[in-house]
Amino acid sequence: MVISEIKKGVYGMIIHDWDRKLFDELIPLPDGTTYNSYFIRDEKNVLIDTADPSKTMDLVRGLEKIGVDRIDYIVSNHSEQDHSGSIPEMLKRFPGSRVLAGEKASGLLQSMLLIPPEKIEKVKNGQSLSIGRRSLVFMDAPWAHWPETILTYCPEEKILFPCDLFGSHLAESDFYGRSDGKLYASAKRYYAEIMMPFRSNIARHLEAVEALSPEVIAPSHGPVHRNPSFILDAYRDWVSDKVRNQVVIPYVSMHGSVAAMVDFFTNRLIDQGVGAKPFNLVSSDVGELASSLVDAATVVIGSPMVLTGPHPAALYATYLFRILRPKTRFASVIGSFGWGGNMLKMITEMLPGNIEVIEPVIAKGYPLEKDFESLAGLAGKIFEKHEKLGLT
Ligand code: FEO
């Protein structure tokens, strides 16, 4: 754990989970993660967000180090257990405390954490609460990334506590982010996995946050931002409609036919000046794939036929592509089959609905000269599409 006094009487506790490898049993965490909790000492003492239940005792130790003997309010910006999971223990240790949460959060906190309803006080969008010489302003931020999420702002200190928003799954010993490539990559990956499906909501929340001009952004995962423009500029780019001259190619190959097609296709794109990134789904990190989807203009899925449909790994990647809802403009499919099946239909039906599908290339068995010509044609069409968007 690393503790820092951000401003006089405002403490941040970054509780490391160095060894956590997966989040939601889905998202790989190559750099572990952290659960950040914040404490404000004033006439009313406030704890903002807690920690994953597995780290409750770390939070207790952090509060002891700061010398906390009373908590009046526990602000729950977000009901997911990695931030709210230690609230029940906090309520036991500080029985005079009450939970402040968004209007939609009360039911979730009751059902998931068994917090008694009489301990929860709902706060409204825009509501300001005086805690002494400071105040807290609560802002609804639905779908960042749950429907009940709120952001908490302390105007006197100009500190924003946005919970998941602007966070990163990055366990480091530094309290403040270094605004470097590592933090950028972690934050982008985090945005892709958590926030991207709600891009238009995030764009609205971003505008609201920018209007506050915070001096510090203190998320509940990863390092604290004391250079807010670093993360705000990055988010502005990610939520915009801008796409890059890049083709992402998630693929799987059983006997080398699809691999040969992907290899030829990738090199053809590169020769034309189009960025290309193949992801062999057998060994790829799904978080890296998600991150690459944030701004790529085109996605091409590669799959062989298995029994009557696509390889399950290709179907899984297509499903992720659909539910992550990136701003991708174009998609296509390349693949190989032995004797029949519904691979193409199943993949194209699962593609996001608002995407332009460019004619796929499917080979029978190992690709022949005509198939490589078709792949060259597909690369050419993608180049033209990108060129029309002014990307090349
Ligand atoms: Fe970090 Fe949605 O919880």
**Which pLDDT band holds residue 387 (cuts at 50, 70, 90)?**
very high
Whole-number Å distance between alpha carbons of 127 and 332:
48
- Taking the centre of ligand 1 as the mean of its atom positions, its distance from the CA of residue 183, in whole angstroms, is 18
The H or E element spanning position 74 is strand 73-76
Residues paired with 121 in a beta bridge: 100
Residues paired with 335 in a beta bridge: 303, 362
**3-state class of 385 per DSSP?**
helix
Q: Does 210 share its domain with 252?
A: no
**Which pLDDT band holds residue 18 (cuts at 50, 70, 90)?**
very high
Q: Does 212 share its domain with 262?
A: no
Whole-number Å distance between alpha carbons of 62 and 20:
20
pLDDT over 90 at 310, yes or no: yes
Which CATH number characterizes residue 287's domain? 3.40.50.360
- Taking the centre of ligand 1 as the mean of its atom positions, its distance from the CA of residue 190, in whole angstroms, is 11
Q: Does 310 share its domain with 212?
A: no
Residue 392 lies in a domain: no
Ligand 1 contact via 225 beta carbon (within 6 Å): no
- Taking the centre of ligand 1 as the mean of its atom positions, its distance from the CA of residue 83, in whole angstroms, is 7
For the CA of 81, the closest atom of ligand 1 is: 3
Q: What pLDDT, on a 0 to 100 scale, did the predictor assign at position 263?
A: 98
Q: What is the mean pLDDT of the segment spanning 36-42?
A: 98
Check: CB of residue 152 under 8 Å from CB of residue 219.
Answer: no
Ligand 1 contact via 221 beta carbon (within 6 Å): yes
For atom 2 of ligand 1, which residue has the closest CA?
80
Q: What is the mean pLDDT of the segment spanning 114-137?
A: 97
Ligand 1 contact via 83 beta carbon (within 6 Å): yes
Q: What pLDDT, on a 0 to 100 scale, did the predictor assign at position 276?
A: 98
**Which pLDDT band holds residue 273 (cuts at 50, 70, 90)?**
very high
Q: Does 170 share its domain with 266?
A: no
Q: Does 230 share its domain with 278?
A: no
Q: What pLDDT, on a 0 to 100 scale, did the predictor assign at position 213?
A: 98
- Taking the centre of ligand 1 as the mean of its atom positions, its distance from the CA of residue 128, in whole angstroms, is 24
- Taking the centre of ligand 1 as the mean of its atom positions, its distance from the CA of residue 80, in whole angstroms, is 5
Whether the link from the prior residue into 145 is cis, omega within 30° of 0, is yes
Average pLDDT, the chain: 97
Q: How do residues 213-255 score in pLDDT, each as one tens digit?
A: 999 999 999 999 999 999 999 999 999 999 999 999 999 999 9
pLDDT over 90 at 353, yes or no: no
Whole-number Å distance between alpha carbons of 85 and 76:
10
pLDDT over 90 at 24, yes or no: no
Check: CB of residue 102 under 8 Å from CB of residue 72.
Answer: no
| Domain C-terminal end among 179, 211, 239 | 239
Q: Does 146 share its domain with 235?
A: yes
Q: What pLDDT, on a 0 to 100 scale, did the predictor assign at position 340?
A: 86
Residue 269 lies in a domain: yes
Ligand 1 contact via 172 beta carbon (within 6 Å): no
- Taking the centre of ligand 1 as the mean of its atom positions, its distance from the CA of residue 81, in whole angstroms, is 7
Q: What pLDDT, on a 0 to 100 scale, did the predictor assign at position 392?
A: 86
**Residue 348: both structure tokens together:** 């194209």
Q: What pLDDT, on a 0 to 100 scale, did the predictor assign at position 26?
A: 87
- Taking the centre of ligand 1 as the mean of its atom positions, its distance from the CA of residue 194, in whole angstroms, is 8
pLDDT over 90 at 341, yes or no: no
Displacement of CA 366 from its chain's centroid (Å): 38
Which CATH number characterizes residue 194's domain? 3.60.15.10
**Residue 65: both structure tokens together:** 């180090």
For atom 1 of ligand 1, which residue has the closest CA?
164
Q: How do residues 57-103 score in pLDDT, each as one tens digit?
A: 999 999 999 999 999 999 999 999 999 999 999 999 999 999 999 99
Residues paired with 216 in a beta bridge: 159
Q: Does 264 share its domain with 332?
A: yes
**Which pLDDT band holds residue 383 (cuts at 50, 70, 90)?**
very high
Q: How do residues 160-215 score in pLDDT, each as one tens digit?
A: 999 999 999 999 999 999 989 999 999 999 999 999 999 999 999 999 999 999 99
- Taking the centre of ligand 1 as the mean of its atom positions, its distance from the CA of residue 221, in whole angstroms, is 8
Instruction: Write out the DSSP string of 308-375.
Output: TEE-HHHHHHHHHHHHH-----EEEEEEEESS--SHHHHHHHHS-TTSEEPPPEEEESS--HHHHHHH
Q: Does 254 share its domain with 204?
A: no
Closest-CA residue to 236 (of 191, 185, 303): 191
For the CA of 149, the closest atom of ligand 1 is: 2
Instruction: Write out the DSSP string of 264-282.
Output: HHHHHHHHTT-EEEEEETT
pTM of the predicted protein model: 0.96
Q: Does 20 share its domain with 97?
A: yes
For the CA of 220, the closest atom of ligand 1 is: 1
Q: What pLDDT, on a 0 to 100 scale, did the predictor assign at position 72?
A: 98
Ligand 1 contact via 82 beta carbon (within 6 Å): yes
Ligand 1 contact via 164 beta carbon (within 6 Å): yes
Q: Does 193 share its domain with 265?
A: no
- Taking the centre of ligand 1 as the mean of its atom positions, its distance from the CA of residue 386, in whole angstroms, is 36
Whole-number Å distance between alpha carbons of 192 and 23:
14
Q: Where are the alpha helices (DSSP H) in 191-254?
A: 199-212, 228-239
Ligand 1 contact via 78 beta carbon (within 6 Å): yes
Counted domains in the chain: 2
Q: What pLDDT, on a 0 to 100 scale, did the predictor assign at position 250?
A: 98
Ligand 1 contact via 80 beta carbon (within 6 Å): yes
For atom 3 of ligand 1, which residue has the closest CA?
80
**Which pLDDT band holds residue 25 (cuts at 50, 70, 90)?**
confident
For the CA of 35, the closest atom of ligand 1 is: 1
Q: Does 202 share its domain with 312?
A: no
Closest-CA residue to 261 (of 347, 331, 336, 315): 336
- Taking the centre of ligand 1 as the mean of its atom positions, its distance from the CA of residue 149, in whole angstroms, is 10
* Domain coverage including residue 85: 2-239
Q: CA 232, 245, 238 angle in degrees (round to 5)? A: 15
